[in-house]
Amino acid sequence: MHSLPFRQIHLDFHTSEHIPGIGKDFDKKRYQQTLLDAHVNSVTTFATCHHGWSYYQSKVGPMHPNLSFDLLRAQYDACKEIGINVPIYLTAGVNNMAATAHPEWRQIGPDGRFTGWARSNIEAGFFYMCFNTGYLDFLCEQIREVVTLYPENDGIFLDIITQPECTCHTCIASMHELGFDPLNQEDRKAHSRRVLEKYYQATTDAARVNNPENAIFHNSGHIEQGNRDILKYFSHLELESLPTGGWGYDHFPISAKYCANLHHDVMGMTGKFHTTWGEFGGLKHPNALRYECAQMLAVGSKCSVGDQLHPCGDLDESTYRVIGEAYREVEAKEPWCVDAKQVSDIGILASAAVNHGSHKRESAADVGAGRILLEGQLLFDVLDADMDFTGRKALLLPDDIVVNEALKTKLDAFLAGGGKLILSGASGLRPDGAGFWWDIGAEHEGESEYQPDYLLPAEEVRPEFVTSPLVMYLKSRRIRVTSGKSLGDVYDPYFNRSYKHFSSHQHAPNQTEAAGFDCGVMTDNILYFAHPVFSLYRAYGAVAYRQYITNAIRAFLGDALTVRTNLPTTARLHLNTQPSENRHVLHLLFANTVLRGGSMEMHGGTVRATQPIEVVEDLLPLRDIDLTLRIPQEVTHIRLEPQGEEIPFTRTEDGRVTFRIDEFTCHQMCAVDVKGFGIA
């Protein structure tokens, strides 16, 4: 497995031909000192950019017309001289210079229009290139040139890997030759997958023409869950996830918890920008970057911060002062993060993986499930259907996972081994919809005719502030409890809203009597929610929804849960193991995110309208944090790290270890040393 450094920079350099003096202020000594002061140990550096220009002495693609020297060589040599790695970046899926010279290489959508960030030649933006044309040969020639000129490179980064349904002349001819119908969407998608496979094979071979072990990463902005066939072309994984750039603060940990189960080293990638890529003069608060890097360490990944080099070639002083504050802390924490493996009580079987192709990027059910477990301080990871399910206390199938025969066999084995299932909505149903595969302790009578309806949870799982029926905006499955334990009652509305009958501004109120159906059921090994509760939480974020769900999960799993804590829902908790060190490392995180800014149309040069941005500024301390761990081995020490401060602990009669952290700010690691190793 290719091992990544912990403190990386992804140095964007997409630079117009209309800007003069490219690299004129590059100074080797200043460049080196800036990186050293910021504790950086790897810089992904540009060979080519989205505009299509090269920044080295290329015989394949034209060098930037306003660059008078080999800028890549200057940066490369400066870094290598002081022991900093240099992976090399090449644009792949977009290239405006090539698009202008060879319009026949551009992607054309089924609507007959060019695709890309700009779909017209008179719009500002970049153009998608079709990998089924001569462009792929051109790209591979560039890659071979770069790895030959820079044989000691630390990997190749290829960007914007996308091949949507293309109907350029080459693709139409190719579809005809292969027996595909260009008028059929499924055939167009199948053809696109074949073209992408050709791209992966050709570019990976090119990157490894001189070194079969050379590192390579193909960036599509997201690691698609369940699409593991392409991972043989990847040496490692870089998880692009800029919280302020549209991904939000919960995208990365959920993505990383899936990738941690793959056989690749993983790196998180955030940005220094207040918004997203390409923002000159935008800078997030240092505390935000400290928190984001700590979050990467907590889920077992390395760190990368995206920056954009000014055309003059000089690194921005403010940017590297901010990065340095975060990376100074990362460097101090690395010993407790090397070869760390996540501990999970619950495995989320990802809807995006099982229902492959039915979600554009992420599943609402997966996102909602991940957020609920993060906010509930419940240890989890994310799985696809081909992964090993053993080692978890429960598997969670969120909302829309209709189980086929093959998956049923794996889940039966998991149940037989003592595991439990958490199901919701349509999850666990037979493919024909005729009831559940397993005895869930209730009869199934189909889908409700009402949307929305209401529920009143049973007292054991009821949110602390709910005493009357709670509106649920998506349809429930109609169940009547038989042998299981009811989670509460469903209340129907008086009617669905229509022009014929409606009441007030939104939906009709609930009827005063329960409908005779249950909102969920619990048996010894199955917990079922009749509503698609995880999608509902993704959509509405209602505290009452989360409390209902987490109360039920805690009642279901009981003493099997590894961690108990009084952390607030805005904090995050992750537990990793370091087998070689005979220790577990508990990570506590807290940053109070605030939505700032708002929706506003912008004019005069910006590329998009504004949206609210989740900002981290103030890092407030948390105090008196109580923790209980189910560690059956003999605990020898618990220390706050990297402070090295030992803290007292007690062992309860049932074998748990309890301790208190008086105070922490942003991120605190607790190293739990044991004799022998493992978690029950």
- Same domain? For 131 and 200 the reply is yes
Helix (H, G, I), strand (E, B) or coil at 257: helix
Token couple for 237: 């994984």
pLDDT the model gives residue 633: 80
**Percent of the chain whose predicted confidence (pLDDT) is above 70:** 98
Ranges of H-type helices in 92-184: 96-101, 134-149, 169-178
What predicted TM-score, i.e. pTM, was given to this entire model? 0.95
**Structural domain ending residue among the three candidates 518, 542, 561:** 561
- Same domain? For 480 and 406 the reply is yes
Residue 341 in this model has a pLDDT that exceeds 60: yes
The CATH number for 510's domain is: 3.40.50.880
- Same domain? For 324 and 388 the reply is no
pLDDT the model gives residue 228: 92
User: What range does the domain containing 591 cover?
Assistant: 564-675
Spell out a b/e string for 213-230, using b for 16 or more CB atoms within 10 Å of the CB, else e: ebbbbbbbbebbbbeeeb
User: How would residue 355 be classed by pLDDT, with cut points 50, 70 and 90?
Assistant: confident
User: Minimal CA–CA distance to 106: which of 169, 194, 52?
Assistant: 169
- Is 290 a domain residue? yes
Give the single-character DSSP code of 271: E
List all residues 6 or more positions away from 119 whose beta carbon is below 8 Å from its beta carbon.
Answer: 113
pLDDT the model gives residue 394: 98
- Is 534 a domain residue? yes
pLDDT the model gives residue 598: 86
Helix (H, G, I), strand (E, B) or coil at 177: helix
**Structural domain ending residue among the three candidates 561, 576, 603:** 561
pLDDT the model gives residue 562: 96
pLDDT the model gives residue 678: 54
The CATH number for 573's domain is: 2.60.40
Residue 33 in this model has a pLDDT that exceeds 90: yes
Residue 304 near residue 269 (C-beta atoms within 8 A) = yes
Q: Is the peptide bond before 243 cis (omega within 30 degrees of 0)?
A: no
- Is 680 a domain residue? no
Residue 680 in this model has a pLDDT that exceeds 60: no
- Is 2 a domain residue? no
Integer-rounded Cα radius of gyration of the chain: 27
- Is 436 a domain residue? yes
Q: Mean pLDDT across the stretch 174-185?
A: 97
**417 class by beta-carbon count within 10 Å (0-12 exposed, 13-18 middle, 19+ buried):** exposed
Residue 140 in this model has a pLDDT that exceeds 80: yes
- Is 196 a domain residue? yes
Instruction: Tell how strand 346-349 and strand 236-240 pair up.
Output: unpaired
Residue 410 in this model has a pLDDT that exceeds 60: yes
CA dist 517 and 20 (Å) reads 71
Q: What is the mean pLDDT of the chain?
A: 95
pLDDT the model gives residue 605: 60
Match 């990998």 to its residue by tokens.
Answer: 131
Residue 571 in this model has a pLDDT that exceeds 70: yes
- Same domain? For 202 and 350 the reply is no
CA dist 243 and 255 (Å) reads 13
The CATH number for 199's domain is: 3.20.20.80
Residue 608 in this model has a pLDDT that exceeds 70: no
- Same domain? For 82 and 177 the reply is yes
- Same domain? For 513 and 592 the reply is no
Match 């829309």 to its residue by tokens.
Answer: 400
pLDDT the model gives residue 360: 60
pLDDT tens-place string over residues 371-399: 999 999 999 999 999 999 999 999 999 99
Give the single-character DSSP code of 398: -
CA dist 170 and 194 (Å) reads 14
What are the Cα distances from residue 676, in Å, to 228, 299, 385, 657?
A: 34, 23, 32, 16
User: Minimal CA–CA distance to 4: which of 271, 289, 272, 334?
Assistant: 334
- Same domain? For 549 and 650 the reply is no
- Same domain? For 555 and 574 the reply is no
pLDDT the model gives residue 481: 98
Neighbours of 203 (CB within 10 A): 25
Q: Mean pLDDT across the stretch 224-252?
A: 93
- Is 1 a domain residue? no
Q: Mean pLDDT across the stretch 450-472?
A: 97
Residue 359 in this model has a pLDDT that exceeds 60: no
Residue 95 in this model has a pLDDT that exceeds 80: yes
Q: Mean pLDDT across the stretch 233-254?
A: 93
**Percent of the chain whose predicted confidence (pLDDT) is above 90:** 88
- Same domain? For 557 and 571 the reply is no
What are the Cα distances from residue 87, in Å, to 1, 76, 153, 236, 411?
A: 16, 9, 6, 12, 42
- Same domain? For 605 and 544 the reply is no
What are the Cα distances from residue 385, in Å, to 239, 258, 426, 431?
A: 21, 12, 17, 16
- Same domain? For 58 and 75 the reply is yes
**Structural domain ending residue among the three candidates 533, 561, 589:** 561
Neighbours of 484 (CB within 10 A): 20
Instruction: Tell how strand 571-578 and strand 583-590 pair up.
Output: antiparallel
CA dist 128 and 531 (Å) reads 41
CA dist 495 and 7 (Å) reads 58
Residue 606 in this model has a pLDDT that exceeds 80: no
CA dist 397 and 615 (Å) reads 32
- Is 96 a domain residue? yes
What are the Cα distances from residue 542, in Å, to 86, 175, 350, 451, 470?
A: 46, 48, 22, 17, 10
Q: For residue 331, which amino acid is it?
A: E
Q: Mean pLDDT across the stretch 584-590?
A: 98
Per the structure, the count of domains in the chain is 3
Residue 561 in this model has a pLDDT that exceeds 80: yes
CA dist 84 and 419 (Å) reads 46
pLDDT the model gives residue 358: 57
- Same domain? For 467 and 385 the reply is yes
CA dist 661 and 668 (Å) reads 9
Which of 89-93, 189-193, 200-204, 597-601 has the least mean pLDDT? 597-601
